[in-house]
Amino acid sequence: MKKLKFGVIGFTGKLGKEVVNLFQEKGYKLVLKVNRKINEQLEKPDVIIECGLSNTVDQSIKLSEKLLVPIVVATTGLSPDQIKGLKHLSNYVPVILSSNYSFGIQVLLKLVEESSKKLKDWDVEISEVHHRFKKDKPSGTAKMIKDLVHRKDVQVNSSRLGNVQGEHTIKYGGLGEVLSISHSATSRKTFAEGILKSVNYILKKKKGLFSFKDVVENKK
Amino acid sequence: MKKLKFGVIGFTGKLGKEVVNLFQEKGYKLVLKVNRKINEQLEKPDVIIECGLSNTVDQSIKLSEKLLVPIVVATTGLSPDQIKGLKHLSNYVPVILSSNYSFGIQVLLKLVEESSKKLKDWDVEISEVHHRFKKDKPSGTAKMIKDLVHRKDVQVNSSRLGNVQGEHTIKYGGLGEVLSISHSATSRKTFAEGILKSVNYILKKKKGLFSFKDVVENKK
Amino acid sequence: MKKLKFGVIGFTGKLGKEVVNLFQEKGYKLVLKVNRKINEQLEKPDVIIECGLSNTVDQSIKLSEKLLVPIVVATTGLSPDQIKGLKHLSNYVPVILSSNYSFGIQVLLKLVEESSKKLKDWDVEISEVHHRFKKDKPSGTAKMIKDLVHRKDVQVNSSRLGNVQGEHTIKYGGLGEVLSISHSATSRKTFAEGILKSVNYILKKKKGLFSFKDVVENKK
Amino acid sequence: MKKLKFGVIGFTGKLGKEVVNLFQEKGYKLVLKVNRKINEQLEKPDVIIECGLSNTVDQSIKLSEKLLVPIVVATTGLSPDQIKGLKHLSNYVPVILSSNYSFGIQVLLKLVEESSKKLKDWDVEISEVHHRFKKDKPSGTAKMIKDLVHRKDVQVNSSRLGNVQGEHTIKYGGLGEVLSISHSATSRKTFAEGILKSVNYILKKKKGLFSFKDVVENKK
């Protein structure tokens, strides 16, 4: 099998480093690396992984379109215009867009869907904790959870604390009982592994916009 | 509509009191009350609620059989023989048996079923906290949760702490992430309301053994 | 010993009921009861307990001043003017003012003082959860905790969920570790017992403004 | 200033790697490295860090005694004989022995001491969660916490879950309230930093047995 060539936008960030490490462990070749200061392309990559800051996404969209290379987007805090840009891009290449590439979060989302249906008249509160360096607020994952609750007035509490990697909790409060579902990331490698799975999935696609949920469910 | 007549075994216990209060609020008539010292029957009840200690159950089975009256059993820590006795009884009258009459716990059980299927290779740990006066250990609810995990080596940690009304947590640990589902009872009235629902359900049945899950799903 | 006579402002509220129950269990006599609709005084009370809503406090101040009777104030969400009014009142009668009459909260406050000194460069986040009927936000206790942290930019997250009686958590986040201290009230009787302690304390005083901390430490 | 030379027993373990990384970042020189297969000494170290498994400690004691080099012991699950051996060793060289080199844990221990005094008649429960690869149970830190509670019948619940780095919780349960103090390690670097602090402390000592508490309090 031919060795996979990959590019990472934001290769020196927290997540970028994990991706580079895991992919290199697998024997894949880093041929394109971009951060605020460096922009280095050795060869044409088979796939681009975008895990920079939200302001690097525009450039990544252009790059993916120019090279006609699939792209996995892990950056959060995107603007509506950027999301529109990715949709447009997906007419030409396959695009995966998700706020969270952890498998456990996918399970949590499934549970939230189920319990939100059953506990319609209970109060709901979502909270998330991340490291103090996280820029966007609330987290993209908290927004995904909120969307699944299907209500207007759901409160989302965001905390920035130390270097917590990521905690998401949803609490349902009835009269006399509280039910809560919680996910905590203890290692960033989890996300890198979800991105690896996504790369394997996207390489079989011709074009289209996919989510990490599609990857986990192996949607045709 | 005719006023419901009910009997409570263990009517002075924590749960027994809540049942008596809620049922009387509804206008129901307490016609049979039993505890360690008192055994008073004014009229034949339409339904018996057993919420005493495990050693009162034998007597309740006999009473239900003698009077041919449906019974809702909320007592936990039953022996295999007592469970056999209730099964036998259900040939003659409808019987509802559950370790927990809270609606939220039913939702938790559903979520546990779902997540246990998806997280087969993750570690699992169940824990429960109850007030220091709770006799049986682990709680009947913790056992129900354990049964749904479908594994051999699941650890169950039990704590007896102050007068905590009841907390159950299941944690799944993968490499890099932890998912947990948790239920906390903040008022015993919740259980009384589940028992009320069960009474309304059982009165429509002729015989058979039912669970609170059947009640919640309104099983025919 | 002469039987204590007490008055309760807000005697039909959640806390008011608990106070009435506990004090009557002790053999004390309820001689003054006030709520939105009822205002009934049988005899002159030895002490007034204010646990109504913040808008009943003005009237209680007047009553305490008129009767020259000590007052224990458990109502939260007071305005600066009301606090000034209580200070003024304390020139004539003893006044106890606290946002929280639980012993455990006093211990938590002590711990917060200690850990805030040791963890000066860690991030801090305070959160509180109360039942959906609680009017003021953040809770008076959360404000007390915040004051002990001695920092400007401490975030306080408030949630209103089901009928949770009261949870307060402070989290300190360092690079690589999180320390948290948490208190959860599982029964309102706790607060009534703190108020009982406060009554026993206040009856020995001639005048002055005291806190529940003074009561717990039995300050001279 | 002369460059510090250090040795690490268990240099390929989870903690060992962090120590090597952090110390090399500081410009220190790794001159002795030992694991199950490798035993390599380039020069005489200024300090030895033992973070292997409990069965490597005997050898480390001998090595420290032979070379007359201070030793910092971070390995847990030591036998009484090994502890005796370290005490003996401390007659000749300075020794630091602690189950946990995180600063936050030192603060937690302080808080536990304080609250255990104040909450003497409350129930106590200690729990710890660590990654599934941790051998000893309960953790050394849980034992330290237990010792500070000064009671006979304290329950310690241990869970092994995914790759959780380390969580310790103590819960106090009164009638009507629960107080809990919790510590969670989110990065192993925390421990390496505590070990670095300990090295700086130990180098100023001639001999004697010290704890990480002594280091934090800079005991003379």
- Catalytic residue IDs of C: 130, 134
pLDDT for C207 beyond 90? yes
Whether D88 and D111 map to the same domain: the answer is no
What pLDDT band is residue A29 in, cutting at 50, 70 and 90? Answer: very high
ipTM surpassing 0.90? no
Nearest alpha carbon to residue B145 among B132, B126, B164, B171: B126
D157 vs B127, B132, B172: nearest CB = B127
Strand C94-97 with C208-210, pairing: parallel
pLDDT digits (tens, 9 = 90+) for C105-153: 999 999 999 999 999 999 999 999 999 988 889 999 999 999 999 998 8
B153 near A CB under 8 A:
no
Contact B56, B50 (CB under 8 A): yes
Q: What is the pLDDT of residue D152?
A: 85
CATH number at residue A155: 3.30.360.10
Is the peptide bond between B138 and the residue preceding it cis, with omega within 30 degrees of 0?
yes
- For residue B181, list chain A residues with Cβ-Cβ distance below 8 A: 111, 179-182
Distances (CA, A) of D24 to B192, D9, D16, D215: 63, 16, 12, 22
Tell me the nearest-neighbour CA distance from C209 into chain D, angstroms: 25
pLDDT at site A1: 56
Model confidence pLDDT, tens digit, residues B11-38? 999 899 999 999 999 999 999 999 989 9
Statement to judge: residues A84 and A142 lie in one domain = no
| Contact (Cβ atoms closer than 8 angstroms) between residue A6 and residue A47 | yes
Active-site residue, from B5, B44, B84, B130: B130
CA separation, residue A134 to residues A138, A191, B218, B219 (Å) = 10, 16, 47, 48
Q: What is the pLDDT of residues D156-214, one digit of tens each?
A: 999 999 989 999 999 999 989 999 999 999 888 999 999 999 999 999 999 999 999 99
State whether B13 and B94 are in the same domain: yes
C96 & C110 share domain: no
Cβ separation D161–B173 shorter than 8 A: yes
Are B162 and D174 inside 8 Å of each other by CB? Answer: yes
Cβ within 8 Å of residue B100, ≥6 positions away: B140, B141, B144, B166, B191, B194, B212
Upstream peptide bond of D80 is cis (omega within 30 degrees of 0): no
| Residue B139 and residue B91 share a domain | no
Signed CA dihedral, A187, A191, A192, A196: sign only:
positive
Mean pLDDT of chain B: 94
Same domain, A193 and A89: yes
Q: Does B164 touch chain C (CB under 8 A)?
A: yes
Q: List all chains that touch chain D, counting a touch as 3 or more CB pairs closer than 8 Å.
A: A, B, C
Flag if A178 and B187 touch (Cβ within 8 Å): no
Please give the residue of chain A at the shortest CA–CA distance from C133.
A175
Residue D15 and residue D114 in one domain? no
Q: How confident is the model at residue C220 (pLDDT cuts 50, 70, 90)?
A: confident
Task: Give the CATH number of the domain where residue A209 resides.
Answer: 3.40.50.720
- Which active-site residues of D does the annotation give? 130, 134
Which runs of consecutive H residues, i.e. helices, occur in B30-178?
57-67, 80-89, 103-118, 140-149
Mutant choice from C179, C183, C212, C213 vs D, greatest count of D C-beta within 10 A: C179
Q: Are residues D91 and D127 in the same domain?
A: no
Query: Mean pLDDT over residues C62-91, rounded?
Result: 95
- Cβ pair D192, D140 in contact under 8 A: no
Instruction: Say if CB B45 and CB B8 are below 8 A apart.
Output: no
Residues A171, A212 share a domain: no
CA distance B61 to B92: 11
DSSP D99: S
The tens digit of pLDDT for each residue in A94-122 reads 999 998 999 999 999 999 999 999 999 99
Measured between CA atoms, the residue of chain C closest to residue B163 is: C186
What pLDDT is attached to residue B135? 82
Q: Quick one: which H or E segment has residue D62?
A: helix D57-67
The pLDDT, as a whole number, for residue C1 is 56
Structural contact between residues C90 and C173, judged by C-beta atoms closer than 8 angstroms: no
**pLDDT recorded at residue A188:** 87
Tell me: do D210 and D176 sit in the same domain.
no
pLDDT (average), residues D97-123 = 95
Task: Provide CB contacts within 8 A for B99, sequence distance 6+.
Answer: B76, B139, B140, B141, B143, B144
Mean pLDDT of the region C188-198: 94
Q: CA-based angle B200:B202:B205, to the nearest 5? A: 125
Distances (CA, A) of B150 to A13, B119, C137: 41, 12, 44
Asked if A107 reaches chain B (Cβ–Cβ under 8 Å), the answer is yes
Interchain pair C164, B186: CB under 8 A: yes
CB A99 within 8 A of CB A143: yes
Are the C-beta atoms of A87 and A71 separated by less than 8 Å?
A: no
Return the pLDDT at D1: 56
Give the pLDDT score at D12. 94
CA distances from D162 to A14, B51, B130, D67 (A): 21, 39, 26, 39
Residue B1: pLDDT band (50, 70, 90) is low
Is D184 near chain B, with CB under 8 Å?
Answer: no
H or E segment to which residue B4 belongs: none
* A95/A193 same-domain check: yes
What is the average pLDDT across A1-28?
Answer: 93
Domain count, chain B: 2
Mean local confidence (pLDDT), C154-173: 94
Residues of D in contact with C103 (CB under 8 A): 174, 177
Q: What is residue C136's predicted lDDT score, i.e. its pLDDT? A: 85
pLDDT of res. A186 = 87
d(CA C7, CA D219): 55
Q: Chains contacting C with at least 3 CB pairs below 8 Å?
A: A, B, D
B190·A178 Cβ contact <8 A: no
Q: Which residues form the domain of A86? A: 5-100+188-216
Provide the shortest C-alpha distance from residue D174 to chain A (in Å).
20
**Contact call for residues B117 and B150 (beta carbons, < 8 A):** no
Question: What is the least distance, in Å, from the CA of D188 to any CA of chain A?
Answer: 11
Residue D18: list chain A partners with CB under 8 A: none
Q: Cα torsion at A103, A107, A108, A110 (round to 10°)?
A: 140
User: What confidence tens digit (pLDDT) does each residue in B151-174 have?
Assistant: 988 999 999 999 899 999 999 999
CA pair distance B89, B48, nearest whole angstrom: 13
- Whole-number pLDDT of residue C2: 75
Any chain D CB within 8 A of the CB of C115?
A: yes
Number of Cβ pairs closer than 8 Å across C and D? 102
Closest Cα in chain B to C186: B164
User: Do D94 and D107 reside in the same domain of the chain?
Assistant: no
Q: Report, as residue numbers or ranges, the catalytic residues of A.
A: 130, 134
Closest by Cβ to C163, choosing from A161, A162, A176: A176
How far is the alpha carbon of B165 from chain C, nearest alpha carbon, in Å?
Answer: 8
Q: Which of residues 185-204 of A touch D (CB under 8 A)?
A: 186-187
- Amino acid C177 reads E
Q: pLDDT digits over C27-62, tens only?
A: 999 999 999 899 999 999 999 999 998 888 999 999
Q: What is the pLDDT of residues D73-91, one digit of tens each?
A: 999 889 999 999 999 999 9
